[in-house]
Chain A
């Protein structure tokens, strides 16, 4: 299963018809390789990576929201939910991917289940922390003004919890972008794919560096965009 790079047959120097001297000598950063392979290697990997991340964070957010609503409403569930998400978060990614294969097979679902598992811990903890940080007075005022319980929750508690929730979303998104590179061990998708290919091809530095830096840039861009969202959604809170 997966990538048996041990049997890939010894190190292979990249042998694309047009390989340059830099590529053959495995130079530090071959810009010509970048030019030739942006379109056929890096760009598709980047798009796949964004897709993998969006699906994982989207599903993770939905599940964590559900869990947080239950855990917040009925305190009894809070500790077990927290412990469960903590447990999932602790399992090393490479091991989790492999452990899921017998259950969900080799494919995108396996990768997504693992990635979603990792988002739960951060999202759930931040959602609960956000909801718990809402001042009692704010809720009492709302109830005193005649808000129903639901209205209080939607119009007072949720907006006040939003900064913590979005802060969790930022951490979860950046982490998912980083961990998704390991997914290439199971499926040839995402920015991990060029990294694994680079490792198999005698540690071809340019490919490893280029894909690695793209992943970092993607993570930082996502973080910046979500920080902007945080500012737009909660103009009253100071941004950090």
Chain B
């Protein structure tokens, strides 16, 4: 810990906003790095977890897998996982990405499973009676009906991945976290730390808000009109 700690007062928040004005392009670059990493990881996690979750849910199989991965995913300390992957593979975009994917998969997988598993069986039977193929049932009946819950899982995963992408800086990653952990750098200082912390919070909140709105739109569309 550094002696600078004593200088940390509420007025530092004012300096943080001054820092944002003076170092706008730096923050923008770092925010770009964080979002690139986080959204790439989220994309890969979606590609892995969504089809698996949809399929398991459709077959009503794999409750244990869904529950187990979500509990294990929650129990994995992100900082240890990041550090472990960096120790294993070295610092690098792809290495950190792998760790982020590992953390992003469980909530998406679990929610997709429970969303599809919980779809009204009558609706599925009706679709089958109409002559729909299993693929059509999943894509045209179960997916739209389960979409709100699936999006809730994506939101949790997104928040989790952005938070962890920030933490990755502790072990040598790039992005806004880089500024947060370099309070001893004279050019950054405490205002810089707070500025970056505010930016990354804003990024997470904005992402969550967009997904929450999508979730609301999806559940509105599916709720029966009375």
| Contact A181-B197, Cβ < 8 Å, known A91-B204, A91-B205 | no
Closest to A181 in B: B77
Nearest-neighbour CB distance to chain A for B102, whole angstroms, equals 13
Q: Is B74 an interface residue (CB 8 A)?
A: yes
Interface residues of A in 136-180 (CB under 8 A from B): 171, 174-175, 177-179
- Partner pick for B201 among A4, A7, A91, A185, CB 8 A cutoff: A91
**Once the chains are docked, how many angstroms separate the CA of A196 from the CA of B79?**
9
Residues on A with C-beta less than 8 A from B115 are none
Interface size of B by CB at 8 A reads: 50
Residues on B with C-beta less than 8 A from A177 are 75, 77
Q: Is A231 an interface residue (CB 8 A)?
A: no
Q: Is B198 an interface residue (CB 8 A)?
A: yes
- Partner pick for A4 among B2, B75, B159, B204, CB 8 A cutoff: B2
Closest to B8 in A: A102
Q: Is the CB–CB distance between A98 and B193 below 8 Å?
A: yes
| Contact A99-B171, Cβ < 8 Å, known A3-B1, A208-B80 | no
Complex interface: stretch among A14-22, A37-45, A58-66, A197-205: A197-205
- Partner pick for A1 among B13, B163, B190, CB 8 A cutoff: B190
Interface string of A198-216 (1 = CB under 8 A from B): 1100010100110110011
**Once the chains are docked, how many angstroms separate the CA of A215 from the CA of B75?**
7
Q: Is the CB–CB distance between B87 and A182 below 8 Å?
A: no
Q: Is the CB–CB distance between B8 and A99 below 8 Å?
A: no
Closest to A215 in B: B77
Residues on B with C-beta less than 8 A from A195 are 77, 79-80, 83
Q: Is A234 an interface residue (CB 8 A)?
A: no
Nearest-neighbour CB distance to chain B for A1, whole angstroms, equals 4
Binding site for B on A (CB under 8 A): 1-7, 86-87, 89-96, 98-99, 101-103, 105-106, 171, 174-175, 177-179, 181-182, 185, 191-192, 195-196, 198-199, 203, 205, 208-209, 211-212, 215-216, 219-220, 223, 240
Q: Is B130 an interface residue (CB 8 A)?
A: no
Known: A2-B183, A4-B1. 11 other contacts (CB 8 A): A4-B2, A6-B184, A7-B184, A86-B212, A94-B177, A94-B197, A102-B9, A174-B74, A181-B79, A203-B171, A219-B75
Q: Is the CB–CB distance between A1 and B67 below 8 Å?
A: no
Binding site for A on B (CB under 8 A): 1-2, 4-5, 8-10, 12-13, 67, 71-72, 74-81, 83-84, 86-87, 159, 162-163, 166-167, 170-171, 177, 180-185, 190, 193-194, 196-198, 200-201, 204-205, 208, 212
- Partner pick for B204 among A92, A198, A240, CB 8 A cutoff: A92
